[in-house]
Structure 1
Amino acid sequence: MTRSNLVGGEMLNWSDLHPADSRPAASGSAATTLLTAALKPGDTVLMAGPHSHSLYADVAAQAESIDILVRSAPDAEELAETLTHAKTQVYCGSLDRFESDETYDLIVALDGLERLVGPDTAALPWSDALSKLTARLTPNGRLLLGATNSFSVNRMIQPDITAALPRDEDWGRTVGDSAPAGLKALRAEVRGQVFGVYPSLIEAEVLVGDSEQLTAAAAARVVAVRNSGPTLMDPYRVVMDAAAAGLLVELAPAWYVVVGDVELPDETPTGELVEERLLNALRVDDQLALRREVVAYVEWARTTSTSGAPDNVIVAGTSYRLFGAESGGTVEEHLARFVRRALESGARQPWPAGGDPEVLTARLASMAGITLSPSTSPEVIRPLGSAEQLATVARLADELAHASARAILFQGTINGIRKSVPYRLGHAMLNPARVVRRRLKRVLRRR
């Protein structure tokens, strides 16, 4: 028997769990981590908005009771039939029609507030929707809230072409119905801990609370995987540069706001990626630092049983350890991987632009006493991002202009020498000797 109750404003021919032309429900390992930290034994929970089945199941298995509010009638029926927890109640409709005297120890809205209403609700300002949820908290209750950032690293990575193609769920709404624009405005609306979410609310994989390099690297990896096609800028470097500027949370694609007493486990290791040290040396043309880092890394790679490339190895002082799973391959292959990543990122290099990756790899390897065999088929690696490609083209044009200027200077110098008196005298004195030599060669051939 179904436990779904219609409260008004429900969408009958619509699904947020199985969308045809809209974004999927909130999910991801970061969402699971946050829920695990926030959920306490004996909690009464309200989950508002579409979440993945695994998130519903995790909460239902641990909570004392769970109420679910979704706007889609098919989703409500599906959840009512699949969640067998004895104290699970599913409500279908819009938040503004959801009237109840119930209060909750934990309210979960990791998908945000925009999908808590349907087209029958003319307007529900974001702040009003937030007030309706927080009013249902017990005195010591906790709120987990998701919000999409309207100006994030995604704006620097991908052109927003899809904005011109409205989806089925993009019916007309007032501007105030969406989340506040910017981290400062969000914090003004709701007080609590704010974490950056990468790469998005619908696939929250990495949760960041600061700009620590290793946290940034984890976020940069998932962003790079999600943006593997043509990009405006290199996705990995955009996130790492945002972290270096202290903007990792502010420029996150989305945020989680945590209101109440919730402590997340701190599992972030300390140290610095070998790749970042190598790139920093390249950026300032510090050949001594580059050689030192290459030699130290190669010595560690030769003496350890693990296998890790520079982008997967942490160095802290003089100790090295893996950052994630093993990379596999030889140290030569790892150096080649670093060269490829450096060229793809358009990073500054102390050598001529557009260099052959085989030559650059051999140059790094020689610093550690490794001799590589030359390749018979040189490869050209272009930067991933359009901005880095333009910068590389500009550098190539500049180098070509300088080379042309030097060629013109050399040609002028040679012409000047040829017109000089000493050159002409020497040429006149040597010319008879050349004539005699040529004639002797002819005579000898005839014999």
Structure 2
Amino acid sequence: MTRSILVGGEMLNWSDLHPVDARPAAAGPAAAALLTAALHPGDSVLVAGPHALDLLTGIAGQVTSVDVLVRSAPDAEEIAELLADTKGDVHCGSLDRFNTDETYDVVVALDGLERLVGPDTATLTWANALTALSDRLTPQGRLLLGATNSFGIERLIQPGIAAAIPRNEDWGRDVADSAPAGLKPLQAALSATGITKTYAVFPSLIESQVALVAVGGLAAVTAARTVAARNAGPTLMDPYRLVLDAADAGLTFELAPAWYFVTGDLPATLPADVVPSGPGVLLEEHLLAALRMDDQATLRRIIPEYVAWLDAGGNGSPDNVILDGSSYRLFGEAQELDVVGHLARFARRTLESGSRQPWPAGGTVHELTARLASMAGITVPEELPESIEVVRPLGSAEQLATVARLSEELAASSARAILFEGTVSGIRRSLPYRVGHAVLNPARVVRRRVRRVLRKVRR
């Protein structure tokens, strides 16, 4: 029967499971899939740090015994009650006070090492915290460790004001400050622990939607979607495009928001079915590349083929359709839209991304949709929802780039207008123009001469 044991350094008026001004516990489908793949029925497990309750019950249902170490006293009581029918104990307190000779087949610390101590612990370096956990492993024991990237993608997309307001838990302490910064230093620090595999985690440890051993192609698209969904508000850069651009540069793994470092032969993708199998590229990316390069031939070939696929029963917008040569297949759930609706969705996403287009900047969804639809012989109705709305790019950087392009186009148009006015003025002052004007306008000439004669007669 599970019981709660105070080991010292516990936090009596604090909760990591139900935080008021702190980040929640480690959670997400990728974390659940990792535990399912890594744990064996006969394992004895130590769970160190805050983990979501569903992860704890999942662990308890897979293994022989589970011990839990958390710093929050209310959390410890809740976990002990939750695991009342499970063999093991709940230890409440700081890692440096957790003195036991018991060893475990698996140590799970998917939340990282920063929240294994409370304010009563003056100093506990990241390396010492890692050693303390490693010492609890059996000779063939396995470690499942999470780590947050101190210079991940969110540093490039979050407005500075969000980072300037610290949370209650963000007090200075060595266990956080001494963690190696960057993927390679972390891997070097973990080399002695027998770590065999590293996952890039998106969008964070507290909501791990996907964990990948390699990030590229459709895996990068999957990661980009999770990051974009979490950062729907104002951002410095478009999160979706940033992840894909990082993948093109081969930097997605190093810039991942977090990592899992694990021991054992585990799947390359967690959850296993989250990334589509088979060859091909996302149709949206293929079309955006054509737009950026002003490749009208590709656009006029692909758009009719895509529309024909939709007419034949396909149902997906370019952002969830995979193009493989001349064939199309759905990536994700079908969307209940008509042909124009699918094209309009692509037009909106194109404008939101601030992607370059071969047409004047600052257009509306209706204008871009109409251009694309005309390539397939489709006329877009004027009553297209939000047809006249001017869509701004999501990221501040893309907004500035769009403003710069609009300014450049306006300056070029003004220069052409001035040149045109000067040319017209010069033509009007020329002798050939005046002679031609007189020949082509005889009535005006006659009228002027009659007026001159009348003035002479009056005198």
Band of TM-score, shorter chain: over 0.9
Q: Counterpart of 2:188?
A: 188
Q: CA, structure 1 residues 364+263, in 2 after alignment: closer, same or farther (shift >3 Å)? A: closer
1:61 and 1:85 in contact (8 A); partners too? no
Paired residue secondary structure (2:61)? helix
Tell me how far 1:165 sits from its aligned partner: 2.5
Distance in 2 (alpha carbons) for counterparts of 1:120 and 1:139: 32
Distance in 2 (alpha carbons) for counterparts of 1:33 and 1:331: 37
Q: Which residue of the other structure, out of 212, 215, 220, is the alignment partner of 1:216? A: 220
1:339 and 1:357 in contact (8 A); partners too? yes
Q: Counterpart of 1:320?
A: 328
Within the alignment, does 1:335 sit opposite 2:343 as a pair?
yes
Same amino acid, percent of matched pairs: 66
Q: CA, structure 1 residues 100+72, in 2 after alignment: closer, same or farther (shift >3 Å)? A: same
Equivalent runs, 1:103-118 vs 2, <5 Å:
103-118=103-118
Distance in 1 (alpha carbons) for counterparts of 2:285 and 2:125: 44
Within the alignment, does 1:290 sit opposite 2:294 as a pair?
no
Q: Counterpart of 1:243?
A: 247
Q: Counterpart of 2:165?
A: 165
2:10 and 2:93 in contact (8 A); partners too? yes
Paired residue secondary structure (1:62)? coil
Distance in 2 (alpha carbons) for counterparts of 1:175 and 1:47: 18
Distance in 1 (alpha carbons) for counterparts of 2:137 and 2:12: 29
Tell me how far 1:225 sits from its aligned partner: 1.7
Q: Counterpart of 2:207?
A: 203
Q: Counterpart of 1:415?
A: 425
Identify the range of structure 1 (391-400 vs 99-108) with the bigger mean alpha-carbon deviation. Answer: 99-108
Equivalent runs, 1:137-176 vs 2, <5 Å:
137-174=137-174
The residue type paired with residue 263 of structure 2 is: V
User: Deviations 1:248-303 (Å, cap 9, x if unpaired)?
Assistant: 21111111111234345654323211000000111111111122221221111111
Q: Counterpart of 2:233?
A: 229
The residue type paired with residue 167 of structure 2 is: R
1:201 and 1:254 in contact (8 A); partners too? yes
Tell me how far 1:161 sits from its aligned partner: 2.1
2:200 and 2:253 in contact (8 A); partners too? yes
User: Deviations 1:175-224 (Å, cap 9, x if unpaired)?
Assistant: 76453211111111113321111111111111122222211222211221
Tell me how far 1:111 sits from its aligned partner: 0.5
The residue type paired with residue 141 of structure 1 is: G
Distance in 1 (alpha carbons) for counterparts of 2:337 and 2:167: 45
Distance in 2 (alpha carbons) for counterparts of 1:177 and 1:261: 31
1:277 and 1:293 in contact (8 A); partners too? no
2:238 and 2:398 in contact (8 A); partners too? yes
Paired residue secondary structure (1:295)? helix
Tell me how far 1:84 sits from its aligned partner: 2.6
The residue type paired with residue 295 of structure 1 is: P
Identify the range of structure 1 (277-286 vs 85-94) with the bigger mean alpha-carbon deviation. Answer: 85-94
User: Deviations 1:115-166 (Å, cap 9, x if unpaired)?
Assistant: 0011111111111111111122222221111111111111111124233323
Equivalent runs, 1:289-438 vs 2, <5 Å:
289-304=298-313, 306-375=314-383, 378-434=388-444
Q: Counterpart of 1:32?
A: 32
Identify the range of structure 1 (96-105 vs 168-177) with the bigger mean alpha-carbon deviation. Answer: 168-177
2:3 and 2:84 in contact (8 A); partners too? no
Distance in 2 (alpha carbons) for counterparts of 1:426 and 1:318: 60
User: Deviations 1:337-359 (Å, cap 9, x if unpaired)?
Assistant: 00100001000100111112212
**Structure 2 unpaired stretches of 5+:** 449-459
User: Deviations 1:300-357 (Å, cap 9, x if unpaired)?
Assistant: 11112x4110001112223221111112111110011001000010001001111122
Tell me how far 1:16 sits from its aligned partner: 0.8
The residue type paired with residue 69 of structure 1 is: L
1:71 and 1:92 in contact (8 A); partners too? yes
Paired residue secondary structure (1:32)? helix
Tell me how far 1:437 sits from its aligned partner: 8.9
Distance in 2 (alpha carbons) for counterparts of 1:162 and 1:355: 32
Paired residue secondary structure (1:142)? strand
Paired residue secondary structure (1:88)? coil
Q: CA, structure 1 residues 297+429, in 2 after alignment: closer, same or farther (shift >3 Å)? A: closer
Tell me how far 1:435 sits from its aligned partner: 6.2
Tell me how far 1:36 sits from its aligned partner: 0.7
Within the alignment, does 1:82 sit opposite 2:98 as a pair?
no
Paired residue secondary structure (2:152)? coil
Q: Which residue of the other structure, out of 254, 261, 266, is the alignment partner of 1:257? A: 261
Distance in 1 (alpha carbons) for counterparts of 2:51 and 2:67: 13
Identify the range of structure 1 (356-365 vs 61-70) with the bigger mean alpha-carbon deviation. Answer: 356-365
**Structure 1 segments of 4+ aligned residues over 4 angstroms from their partners:** 175-178, 435-438
Paired residue secondary structure (1:360)? helix
Distance in 2 (alpha carbons) for counterparts of 1:307 and 1:263: 31
**Structure 1 unpaired stretches of 5+:** 439-447
Tell me how far 1:427 sits from its aligned partner: 2.3
TM-score normalized by the length of structure 2: 0.91
The residue type paired with residue 119 of structure 1 is: P
Distance in 2 (alpha carbons) for counterparts of 1:178 and 1:296: 55
2:46 and 2:106 in contact (8 A); partners too? yes
TM-score normalized by the length of structure 1: 0.93
Q: CA, structure 1 residues 175+11, in 2 after alignment: closer, same or farther (shift >3 Å)? A: closer
